[in-house]
Each structure stands twice: as structure tokens, then as C-alpha cells.
A and B are shown apart, each in its own frame.
Chain A
Amino acid sequence: MDKVDAEARKRAAAILREKLIPLIKDLKAGEPLKLVIPKRTLSNTMLDPEKGILILKDEKLERHLLDAGEARRFMQTILMASIIYQALVENEYPTIRDLYYRGKHTLQYRDLEGKVREENTWDEQQESDAVLRDIEVMTNLLREEMLILSKEKGKMVGDMRIRSGPDVIDLSKLGHGAYAIESTPDFIEFLDYNAEFVLVVEKDAVFQQLHRIGFWRQYKCLLITGAGQPDRATRRLVRRLNEELGLPVYVLTDSDPYGWNIYSVFKVGSITLSYESERLATPKARFLGVSMTDIFGDKKKKPYLTEEERKNFIIKAKDEDIKRAQDLQKYSWFQTPKWKKEIDLFLEKRAKLEIEALVGKGLKFLAYKYLPEKIQTGDWIE
């Protein structure tokens, strides 16, 4: 077993114990037991102006064993903590699904009439996932740091060598395939690379096309996709590339509120999981496109699409798109002049566009004209 891994285990186990052992002391002293957990609510979330990411404010909630309404969640929290702890000391790599199954069993008790009743520790994985999030905020440890694996979704290629576990992987020698970003990107060691920026594309198909056409080799970039909503590992890796290697990060998504939201998740973090932003968000990530002005142009800029192409490629926005856009307008990081213009234009035209439309215009157009030009002219939104 490699050393990085072993160290991480030790640290996580120690923190878990440190957080929960005081309960045993309280118990021995006959004190009522409570868990103190930072609140994961929107009202307890704010944008850190310096770091540019979403963070939790310091509102805490207390979960009391002796409160009948909280006892179940209290039990679940202790249960989850003990399963994670046991997996750590027994050198296992549970997935969140494993945690769900390990913790799920039936409790028996007698009701007040003396009848034997049964209840599950938890029923749905949603429940155990929520408890896991509690433990993350309570211990300030991300699941990756507790060696909990999730499904690998993100991919990366580029001229770069990394060490993952005991192996060295050359990310430029993977043929038509790509490196699947591992669940614990913190244990990746960057060895050497020849790249000037990172391009994150929303869509897996577009990633594959750019990979095959040799985009990353020609323009010296690391090409990454989160395949839709990015998972934590992808976000963490992007963050490390930006922070540790100083590579600028460009994000390419559809031209619609859903795409903007994906960009927002890379940049500031997600609201429901803001406690992880500290380590997952890349505040300096840039929104490369496709932007509304790319489609419609403005005073200073010629649109990338002809009148004819616009007619063919544009999709009418649905009500839910409009609503989503209006929601995004409320967040402070979408209130910069450029974003305001972008969103207003969307609301005015009620039109959206998929990246594939640009590919429809020709993959070469996307790879050799659109992307390089935008990067070179600094035509992005921050």
C-alpha cells in the first residue's frame, strides 16, 4: 500500500476519533449527548469575496440524542462515522453505495404495547448520503480524504505525466482513450508536463472529437471533461491544475443556463455542497463560451454564426430555462457587467445553442478557429 494513502488514512481516522470521542466522555459524565454540525443551508452559505468561492458561514446546528425528533439522525451519524472509521483502519476503499449497504440493517425494539417492531437504520441511499455530507462538514474532511470512492466520470488527456499510486501514467499515450480521473485526485502527483492551459468541455462527445483531432497537442493544453455535471474528483483536479501549476482554466459549455451552471460549479462550487468549495472550486476558471455574443454578436464583435446558421442551430428557450436564468441572476457572481449582458441577451432572445451546433458548422471551425481565436483575443467571461 502506498504511503500517501496510508498517511491519509491515519489522518482521517484521527480526526474522526477526535471529533467523536468527546461524546464518550460526556456519556461517562452523564451529560446529554449532542453533535455540533455546521449548517448546510443556503442561508449559511456565502461567497468569500477574497477567495471567490462559496463557503459556509459559521452557523451550527446541534443534534441532540435526547430530542426525540433528532435521535434517529444522531444514531445514523454515529453509525456512518463508525463505518468510515472501521474502513479506514481496515484499509478498505468503500464507495458511497458500500457505506449505504454496510450501515443498512434492521433494528428491533418493543413498542409501548410490548410488540416487537422493526426499523431500518436507513432506507434509501439518499439518507446515508446526507449523513455522509454531515460527517464531511462536521470533520471538515472530504469523502476523498476519507478514502471513500465515487464513480469515476471525469476524463483527461494531454502532454503530461502523473504518478497515481505506485504507477506513472503518461497522459499523452492513451491512444483514443483517456485517463479516467480517479476518486482521490489529491493523491495524484504531477511529474512533468508540456501545456499552457486547461480546456474543460462540458460534453464527453465534444471532448472525444477534440481529442481525436489532436487539439491538445496542437494548442498545448490539457483537455478535460466532466461529462455533464462534474463530479468532485474532476473539480478537485481542475482546481489543483490551476492552483499548483498556475495553468489558466477555460470552460466550454452549451450556451444556456444549464451550461452556465456547470461553469458556476467549477468556479465557485455548488450551493448544496458549498462546504467542499474550499477545496474543489476554481475561482479563476473562465467561461470561454459559447456565449450569447458569439451567436448574436454586438457593437464590437461580429457573430460567429451567419443569419442562416442561426436560424438552423438556435433552439427556443423553454420556460424552465428562463426560470433558471432568472435564478442565476440573483447570485452575486453572475452580476458582473459581462454576465449581466449575457443573461439579459438570453432573456431577450429566448434562444439557446448547443456546442454541437458549432461542430455542425465543422469540427475544424471549432478546433482551429473558434477556440484559438477566443483564447487569443481574451473573449471570455470571468
Chain B
Amino acid sequence: MSEEKKYKEMGIARFFARYPELTGYSSPQKALYQTIRELVENSLDAIDGHEEGRQVALPLIKVVIEEVAIVHDEEGKKVMCRVTAEDNGVGVPPTVIANAFAKVLYSSKYVTKQTRGMYGIGVKAAVMYSQATGGSGVDVISTTSSLEDVYWRRLKIDLEKNEPIVLGTGSWRKQGSWRGTRVSMTMECDWPRARQKIIEYFQKTSIIAPYVQMLFLTPEKELYVFPKRAEKIPDPPREAKPHPHGVDVETFKLMLRETKARTFKQFLMKEFQSVGEKSARAIIREAKKRIKDKDISGDISPADLLQASDGSLAAIVDIMKTLRFQPPKSKYLSPLGEDLVKASLISTFNPEWADAIRRSPRSYQGHPFIVELGMAYGGHIEPMNEPLLLRYANKVPLLSAEKEDVSYKVMMGVDWKQYKVTFPAPLVILVHVVSTKIPYKSMGKESISEVPEIEQEIRYGLLELGRRLREYLSEKERREEAMNRALAISKYLPEIARGLKILEKEPRSWTPLEPGEERDLLEDLIKLVSRHVHLRDQQGEEVVRKILRVK
């Protein structure tokens, strides 16, 4: 065998099919969870991506897992599941269905925009796993608001060419007003083992997407309902132009290739945020000084600039990273919002107290981010040895590797005693980081790195919520004290009223006390005590009367 023969190029689809663990498909158990996750997240993106004014009244996601067959082959027993996910999101135009679902690295989300998906691999990895374990292709049914027909495609992926294989097509007239997407595929699965994590995933997802109703039907035909608990749907995330601090050389080249601008200067001003006339000139001036292999001016065309060496282009990117610009704009981000976070915590945990806070936008390395935090205390929450931490990134729950997460680290660094919380305590903390780029620790997207800016925002947010909790608890303590005091005194009032009334009656005209004769004194006593029990909300009298209402 000659030396050259060993070298071979591998197609991207073949590559991912070969290494399923890279995308989370290393076992039937993990594969099932991962498939659910990819489908639900695509559906949520499709719901969030609603056009202005076109959102549906009840955003809905239905997921069904059915165990359809038990196959015996050389390797033993295999259980096959059919997984179906349906949403009423924006839908997929018929022309792109095939690529979107059967061409790896095809995505509508390769833009600087806060979406759950970002790689263009998600659903395809599931399709490939389905294909590898005996599935007969993915069925996609979809339509959009503006279409009159509903389209069906049955697809497989050609692993060598990374192209869709269309196994079936069809279309029919829309009936009713449904729009959205329904995706269905069959694969080997291990529901009993995946079950717990899948349910946890739904629960946590529902917390961060309270404006969506989710239905989940298990193979045992058990229906889980995660009801919609908030009216307001957050504004859809908008596409942002990259910030000069946030581009790398590859992206920069891609942008030069795709831009419609005719000059370098125009390119800078049009394709980047926070770059105006002045900063564009500053970049060009610096570039002129640093780049030797090419004559740089504001007037050269992007295509011309692409001819420069990689080193020179890297120098430009470097210049952009070091110059000062307006910070990246956060208006492209779509956090859940304080109200929704709070409402969601309340409806999920039924706590006695909950609050949420949204920190001001900031940026790290040219990427804008916002941290929002929620805290819930008491009520139906079980006391635990440490706070229950719910972590989210761009509205996706992070389920594993909790202890590596920046939020966990910050949370454990807080001296909770200072906030009147001693563990075991019924405390839930929610941390949600939204950004056009989440700094995940690994490809697994399970934990967020300790980026100082993010860490600081989480800390400040937690401390602020801690202060609010402390205030609530102190107020509650004060209140309880006042209530106990009211109780300790009020119970004696009828007896005191009777005694005083007897003493008030003169010996000359003495008659024994009639029942109720002391009413006037009792009323005065009630008023007196209520006035001196310090309850902030003027309920003193009500409290006293309640104590005395025994008949």
C-alpha cells in the first residue's frame, strides 16, 4: 500500500456519522435525550422567531415517543422508538426543507443572533443516528403563514456527498390556520434509562419558556402537560451585525466575500456595528502602517483586500480588537425579562417569595451579554443543603456539569448567612445568560466558563437578590413578632373587659354583669391593642379580631 493511499478526505456528514459521541449520540439512552432536545430547541427557536404581530395565541410544542418495535439481531435485542415533535412556529419554506433537515452544516442561524441553535448540525445528527440504527428516513411536514399548502418530505442524508436524499414528497391544501413544523423519525432507543433526564429537561425548559405550552406523551401513554403560564411572549431576537471586537479571521474573510459593499471603508461601516466614519478611518490608518505586502486604502475593494496574505488580514482583525469602539449593542438580545422569570418561578415552585432581576447589558470580547437572575424562597420548596440552581443559556437549560459552571462557583461563594438564609434552606436560584455567543466550557454546551465580566454580573445580581430576600425575611420576622405579640395580648382582652366592666359598676346600683355588657370596653381594648401592634399594612385590627373570633 503506497503512502498516499492512507490519506483520504472525509465528508463532513460521514465524519459526524462516524463519531456520534461528538454530537451526543453515544448510546440509545443518550441519543433519545439528545434527539428530543434538538427537536424541542428547533421548535422553540421557530416559536421565538415569530414575525412582528404574527405570533400565535398559544405557542405549542407536542412531543410523542412511541416504542414501535423490538428487533432481534446479532447484537441482541433492540428497541425502536418513533419520535415526533410538532410545533406551531414559523415553519420551513418547502424549498429549504431538504437542506435544513438533511444537509449537515445547513442552517438559518449562522448570523449574529441570539438563538438556541447555532451550528447547523442539531437535527441532522439525529437523522444520521436514526439512519444508522435502522430508521427509514425523517418525515417533515411544514408550512408557513404565507403559504397556502402544507408540504411533506421524507429525507435521508447522503453521507458521502452530504446531500439530502429525497425519498418522498407531497403537498396538500392547508386546512385551518395551522402553521409550523412536524418532524418524525424512528431510531433505536432506551426510554427507561433516558426517561428521568428527558422529564427534567422538559421541566427546566418550561421554566424558561413559560409562554409556551408543551405536551409530552411517553411510550407508556402518560401525558405530561407543561402549561403556558405567562401571556407575554418576549420580542424575537434580532439579527445583529458583528462587533469589531468579536470577529475572527475566518469570519472576517467570509464577510469580505459576501459583502455587497464596494470599498473597504464602506465594508467596515456597513457590515459592523459601532463603526462609523471616524472609526473606519482609524482602522484604515492603522492597517496602512502595519501591512506591508499590500497597499491599503479605504478605496480598495473587498475582493482586492481578500488577496492580501493571511498574516495581513489577521493584522486587521487584531487592529479591530485593540481599537476602542462603542460597546456592542444589546438590543439584539432577547432575555426572558424580569416579569417572566419571576412569574415562572412562582408558578413552578409556589414559593412564599420570589423576585427576579435583569442586569444591564455588558460585553465580553466584543460579544454583548445580559445576565438575568431569579430567586425563590420558601413555600412549597423543599429545604435543601445548597440552593437549587437552575442554569440557562439563551433559553436552553443546562443540565449537567453543574459544579463546573460559573454560576455554581459564584453561588457557592456567597455567604448566605448574611442574607438570613441558613441551610438546609428552601432556596431556588435561576441564572440565565443570553448572548450572541455563549462562552461554553466545552462542545457539550453544558456549562459556562468563568469569563470575569459574566462572573461579576452574576455575583452582583445574586447579591442584589440576596439583599431583597433578606429584606423580605426581616420584614417577615418583624411581622411574625408583631403577630405573636398581638396574640399574647389579645387573647386576654375579653377577660379584661369583663373585669373592668364589673369594677365600673357602682355598689349602689349593683347588678351582676350581663353577657355582652362589656362590649364597649372590649371594642376600646381591641382598638388600643391594634394600634400598638406594629404591622406595616394596617391590618392590626383584623388580626386582633381574628384571634378573638372563636364562636
Which A residues fall within an 8 A CB radius of B? 10, 13-14, 16-17, 20-21, 23-24, 27-28, 30, 32-33, 65-66, 68-69, 71-72, 74-75, 78-79, 81-82, 85-86, 88-90, 107-112, 114, 116-117, 119, 121
B502 within 8 A of A: yes
Segment from B22-30, B202-210, B410-418, B490-498 that makes contact with A: B490-498
- CB of B47, distance to nearest CB on chain A (Å): 44
Known: A109-B547, A117-B491. 16 other contacts (CB 8 A): A16-B503, A21-B504, A27-B521, A65-B489, A65-B529, A68-B484, A68-B489, A72-B488, A74-B492, A74-B496, A75-B492, A82-B502, A85-B502, A86-B512, A112-B484, A112-B487
CA distance A159 to B521 in the complex (A): 56
Contact with A along B495-538 (1 / 0, CB 8 A): 11011101110110010100000000100110111011000000
Query: Which single residue of chain B is at the shortest CB-CB distance from A79?
Result: B499
B61 CB, nearest partner CB in chain A, Å: 42
Instruction: Report the bound CA distance from A86 to B500 in whole Å.
Output: 11
- C-alpha spacing A374/B510, complex, angstroms: 57
A82 touching B532 in the complex, CB below 8 Å, given contacts A71-B492, A108-B550, A110-B549: no
A127 → chain B closest CB, angstroms? 14
Q: Are B550 and A66 in contact (CB under 8 A)?
A: no
Contacts of B487 in A (CB 8 A): 109, 111-112
Closest beta carbon of chain A to B501's beta carbon, Å: 8
Q: From residue A66, how far is it (CB to closest CB) to chain B in Å? A: 5
Q: How far is the CB of B382 from chain A (nearest CB, A)?
A: 21
A-B contact pairs, 7 of them (CB 8 A): A65-B528, A78-B500, A108-B550, A109-B490, A109-B491, A114-B546, A119-B491
B532 in contact with A66 (CB, 8 Å)? yes
Are A107 and B494 in touch, CB under 8 angstroms?
yes
Interface flag for B483 (CB, 8 Å): yes
Q: Chain B residues with Cβ under 8 A from A65's Cβ?
A: 489, 496, 528-529
B residues within 8 A CB of A32?
528, 532
A24–B489 touching, CB < 8 Å: no
Bound complex: CA A17 to CA B490 (Å): 24
Inter-subunit contact A71/B532 (CB<8 Å): no
Residues of chain A with a CB closer than 8 A to B489's CB: 65-66, 68, 71
Bound complex: CA A74 to CA B510 (Å)? 25
The answer for the CA separation of A89 and B490 in the assembled complex, in Å, is 29
Which of the four size classes fits the interface of chain B? 35 or more
> A74 vs B528: C-alpha distance in the bound complex, in angstroms?
15
Which of A30, A33, A72, A82 is most buried by chain B, counting CB atoms within 10 A of its CB?
Answer: A82
Question: Chain A CB within 10 Å — which of B492, B495, B507 has the most?
Answer: B492
- From A13, A71, A72, contact of B507 by CB (8 A): A13
Q: Give every chain A residue within 8 A of B502 (Cβ-Cβ).
A: 82, 85-86
Residues of A within 8 A of B490 (CB): 109
| Residues of chain A contacted by B507 (CB below 8 angstroms) | 10, 13-14, 88-89
Question: Of B488, B525, B531, B547, which contacts A110 at CB under 8 A?
Answer: B547
Using Cβ atoms and an 8 Å threshold, which residues of chain A touch B193?
Answer: none
Smallest CB separation, B403 vs chain A (Å): 40
Chain B neighbourhood of A13, CB < 8 A: 507
Provide the bound-state CA to CA distance between A121 and B492, in Å. Answer: 9
Cα of A210 to Cα of B67 in the assembled complex, Å: 111
Q: Contacting B528 at CB < 8 Å: which of A10, A20, A30, A114?
A: A30
- Contact across chains for B495 and A107 when beta carbons are under 8 A apart: yes
Contact A24 B500 (CB under 8 A): yes
Q: Which of A33, A78, A89 contacts B495 (CB 8 A)?
A: A78
Instruction: Specify which of A27, A72, A74 lies most central, judged by the most chain B CB atoms within 10 Å of its CB.
Output: A27
Distance from A102 Cβ to chain B, minimum over Cβ atoms (Å):
12
Residue from B485, B502, B527, B546 with most neighbouring chain A CB atoms (10 Å): B502
Is the CB–CB distance between A82 and B546 below 8 Å?
no
| B199 interfacial by beta-carbon distance below 8 Å | no
User: B89 → chain A, closest Cβ, in Å?
Assistant: 48
Q: What's the nearest-Cβ distance from chain B to residue A200, in Å?
A: 38
Least CB distance, A190 to chain B, in whole angstroms: 30
B300 beta carbon closer than 8 Å to chain A: no
B111 contacts the other chain (CB 8 A): no
Residues of A within 8 A of B525 (CB): 27
Q: Which residue of B lies closest to A121 (CB)?
A: B495
A32 to B532, CA, bound (A): 9
Chain B nearest CB, measured from A239 CB (Å): 30
Contact A66 B503 (CB under 8 A): no
The interface residues of chain B lying within 8 Å CB-to-CB of A114 are 546
Across the interface, B488 reaches (CB within 8 A) one of A71, A79, A86, namely A71
Q: How far is the CB of A84 from chain B (nearest CB, A)?
A: 10
Using A20-B500, A110-B547, A116-B550 as known contacts, say yes or no to A79 and B495 having CB atoms under 8 A apart.
Answer: yes
In order of increasing CB-CB distance, the 8 nearest A-B pairs are A75-B492, A68-B488, A82-B499, A78-B499, A109-B491, A82-B502, A108-B550, A71-B489
Give A76 Cβ to nearest chain B Cβ, in Å. Answer: 9
Cα–Cα distance between A24 and B503 once the two chains are bound (Å): 10
Instruction: Give the shortest distance, in Å, between A120 (CB) and chain B (any CB).
Output: 11
State A111–B543 Cα separation when bound (angstroms): 10
Whether, in the assembled complex, B10 has its beta carbon less than 8 Å from a beta carbon of chain A, the answer is: no
- Complex contact A109–B503 (CB within 8 A): no
The answer, yes or no, to whether B548 is at the interface (CB within 8 Å) is: yes
A169, chain B: closest CB distance, angstroms: 31
**A112–B483 touching, CB < 8 Å:** yes
Q: How far in angstroms is the closest Cβ of chain A from B491?
A: 4
CA distance A162 to B524 in the complex (A): 51
Chain A: minimal CB distance from B372 (Å): 36
A119 CA to B507 CA in the complex, in Å? 31
Nearest-Cβ distance from residue A121 to partner chain B, whole angstroms: 6
Please indicate the chain A residues that have their CB under 8 angstroms from the CB of B549 in the complex. Answer: 110
**Assembly CA distance A63 to B548 (angstroms):** 23
* A residues less than 8 Å from B485 (CB atoms): 68
B504 touches A24 (CB 8 A): yes
Beta-carbon contact of B499 and A27 below 8 Å: no
- Rounded to whole Å, the gap between the CB of A71 and the closest CB of chain B is 4
